[in-house]
């Protein structure tokens, strides 16, 4: 009997072992490496990346980190084996885990659904005595679903990172109005320095700061430059802070006078679309309904939105559930999900406009965690 309470990660692993037993899956492999990112490893073990994780039906975990020193500091697992012992090759690591955990021949082994077709063939060949499963269902879907609904520990982290995000939004507004943040780079560095000072790990994604000359793009390229931010016209600022692994994701539009009629209309449409979306966010609603409603709203005004309405956030900036208005989006909102809602429209002649906040779905409705807004100068 364990004397100590289970850690958050241990609890998640235990729940997953139960699920594996029900499915008859003997071994699960998760990979979080360059080009094949999956922070489910962090969710299950605390390891912040560059590793493989193996979970066996007899409730044991083997973590194979690229950097053993990082794993010793951050990760919990029943065994740690440096990736170098397997020549840093995933197939070798799987073979090593099978040996180490004594997985019987003929067992069902689930490998990541992101495994490429050529590599899948290689796994099947190298582990021909086993039943190798590579599917977007199975443990892949199960982890996606479990991670989409945040637990108490995660919601606590989100309250903290949201408060930090809001504090920075307030500071940004103050400093832009005062003229002390003048360029896109000024704004991006200000966010980065303040947030790291507050204890954030960094940015959830590269900050996009696009002044009036560059806001016509959904994601400006380059993401930020030495060009002016703010000033007359529409500027877009899309950023996320990462705290304890979890990222916020907000977008401000800064609207500087004088504004053209076309720009005023874009602002008004975006605000209306945002309110429309948020009014629909609640427990039990199909996510695609919200996406389709907002798509239809913009289409009616002859200003189609060129991207999805939103997405779940968590250990990744984009995760389940999707809010896209597409027939194959079968996510249903439920309590504990945290979504970023981000309607926006873009015009090469007038610039762009987007408004994005993070919203927690609750039993009885929804709660905006962040307070991003359209800032009129």
CB of 217 to a copy of itself, least distance (A): 5
What's the CA dihedral at 63, 66, 69, 73 to 10 degrees? -50
Q: Is 373 in the site for a copy of itself (CB under 8 A)?
A: no
Structure tokens at 255: 């609207």
Which H or E run includes 245? none
- Rounded to the nearest 10 degrees, the angle between the axes of helix 117-126 and helix 90-101 is 40
User: What whole-number distance in Å separates Cα of residue 140 and Cα of residue 311?
Assistant: 18
**Cα–Cα distance measured from residue 335 to residue 350, given in angstroms and rounded to the nearest whole number:** 39
The three-class DSSP label of residue 45 is helix
Q: Look at residues 239, 74, 246, 238 and name the one whose alpha carbon lies nearest to residue 160.
A: 246
Work out whether 289 is an interface residue with a copy of itself (CB under 8 A): no
**Interface segment toward a copy of itself; rule CB under 8 A; list 24-32, 265-273, 278-286, 306-314:** 306-314
Task: Compute the least distance from the CB of residue 377 to a copy of itself, in Å.
Answer: 24
Output 106 or 118, the one with its CB closest to a copy of itself: 118
What tokens does 368 get? 């905006």
Kindly state the smallest distance separating residue 123's Cβ from a copy of itself, in Å.
Answer: 9
Question: CA torsion angle for 140, 144, 146, 148 (degrees, to 10)?
Answer: 180
Near a copy of itself in 161-190, by CB under 8 A = 185, 189
SS3 268: helix
Minimum Å gap between C-beta 2 and a copy of itself is: 29
- The verdict on 7 binding a copy of itself (CB under 8 A) reads no
**Please, which residues have CB within 8 angstroms of residue 345's CB and are 6 or more apart in sequence?**
266, 269, 270, 298, 303, 304, 305, 352, 353, 354
Q: What Rg value do the Cα atoms of the chain yield, rounded?
A: 23
CA–CA gap between residue 159 and residue 276 (Å, rounded): 24
Q: Does 302 bind a copy of itself (CB under 8 A)?
A: no
CA 174 to each of CA 12, 178, 231: distance values in angstroms, whole numbers, following the listed order: 42, 6, 14
Q: What is the rounded distance in angstroms from the CA atom of residue 290 to the CA atom of residue 285?
A: 8
Told to check if 346 binds a copy of itself by CB under 8 A, we report yes
CA separation for the pair 11, 146 (Å, rounded)? 12
How many residues at the interface with a copy of itself, by CB under 8 A? 55
Q: Which of 264, 256, 270, 153 is nearest to 212 (CA)?
A: 256
- Whole-number minimum distance, CB 102 to a copy of itself, in Å? 27
Q: Which is nearer to a copy of itself, 282 or 307 (CB)?
A: 307
Pick 224 or 229: Cβ nearer a copy of itself:
224
| Selected binder of a copy of itself within 23, 95, 114, 126 (CB under 8 A) | 114
* Min CB(280)–a copy of itself separation in Å: 21
Residue 113 near a copy of itself by CB under 8 A: yes
Residue 201 found at the interface with a copy of itself (CB under 8 A) = yes
Q: Report the residue number, 167 or 192, with the smaller CB distance to a copy of itself.
A: 192
Angle at 188 (CA atoms; ends 239, 216), nearest 5 degrees: 65
Residue 131's region, left for phi above 0, alpha for psi from -120 to 50, else beta, is beta
Contact stretch for a copy of itself (CB under 8 A) within 54-62, 128-136, 253-261, 265-273: 128-136
Cβ-based nearer residue to a copy of itself, 66 or 246: 66
| 319 versus 366: smaller Cβ distance to a copy of itself | 319
Interacting stretch for a copy of itself, rule CB under 8 A, among 44-52, 54-62, 97-105, 272-280? 44-52
Q: Is 24 in the site for a copy of itself (CB under 8 A)?
A: no
The binder of a copy of itself chosen from 125, 129, 135, 177 (CB under 8 A): 135
**Closer residue to a copy of itself (CB): 17 or 190:** 190
128 binds a copy of itself (CB under 8 A): no
Among positions 24, 170, 222, 365, the unique one binding a copy of itself when judged by CB under 8 A: 222
By the criterion CB under 8 A, which residues form the site for a copy of itself? 34-35, 37, 48-50, 66-70, 72, 74, 82, 84, 87-88, 113-118, 120, 134-136, 185, 189, 192-193, 196-197, 201-202, 206, 216-219, 221-226, 304, 306-308, 318, 324, 326, 346, 348
């Amino acid at each position: 009997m364990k004397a100590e309470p289970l850690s958050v990660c241990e609890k998640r692993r235990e729940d997953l072992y139960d699920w594996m037993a029900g499915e008859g899956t003997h071994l699960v492999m998760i990979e979080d490496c360059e080009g094949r990112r999956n922070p489910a490893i962090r969710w299950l073990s605390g390891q912040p990346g560059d590793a493989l994780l193996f979970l066996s039906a007899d409730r044991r975990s083997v973590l194979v980190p690229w950097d053993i020193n990082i794993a010793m500091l951050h990760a919990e697992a029943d065994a740690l084996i440096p990736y170098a012992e397997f020549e840093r090759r995933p197939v070798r690591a799987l073979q090593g885990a099978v040996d180490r955990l004594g997985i019987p021949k003929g067992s069902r082994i689930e490998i990541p659904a992101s495994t490429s077709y050529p590599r899948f063939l290689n796994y099947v060949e190298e582990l021909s005595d086993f039943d190798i499963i590579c599917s977007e269902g199975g443990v892949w879907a199960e982890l996606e679903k479990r991670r989409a609904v945040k637990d108490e520990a995660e919601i606590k982290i989100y309250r903290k990172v949201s408060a930090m995000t809001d504090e920075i939004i307030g500071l940004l507004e103050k400093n832009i109005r005062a003229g002390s943040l003048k360029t896109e780079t000024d704004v991006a560095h200000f966010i980065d320095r303040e947030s790291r000072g507050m204890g954030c790990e960094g940015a959830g994604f590269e900050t996009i700061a696009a002044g009036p000359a560059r806001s016509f793009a959904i994601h400006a390229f380059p993401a930020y430059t030495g060009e002016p931010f703010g000033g007359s016209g529409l500027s877009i600022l899309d950023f996320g802070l990462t705290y304890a692994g979890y990222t916020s994701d907000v977008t401000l539009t800064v609207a500087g006078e004088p504004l053209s009629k076309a720009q005023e209309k874009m602002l008004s449409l975006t605000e209306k679309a945002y309110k429309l979306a948020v009014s629909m966010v609640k427990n039990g609603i199909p996510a695609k309904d919200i996406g389709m409603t907002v798509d239809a709203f913009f289409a009616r005004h002859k200003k189609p939105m060129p991207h999805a309405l939103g997405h779940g956030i968590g250990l990744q900036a984009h995760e389940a559930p999707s809010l896209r208005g597409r027939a194959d989006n079968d996510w249903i909102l439920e309590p504990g999900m945290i979504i970023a809602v981000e309607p926006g429209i873009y015009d090469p002649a007038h610039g762009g406009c987007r408004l994005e906040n993070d919203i927690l779905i609750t039993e009885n409705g929804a709660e905006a965690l962040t307070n991003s807004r359209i800032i009129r100068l």
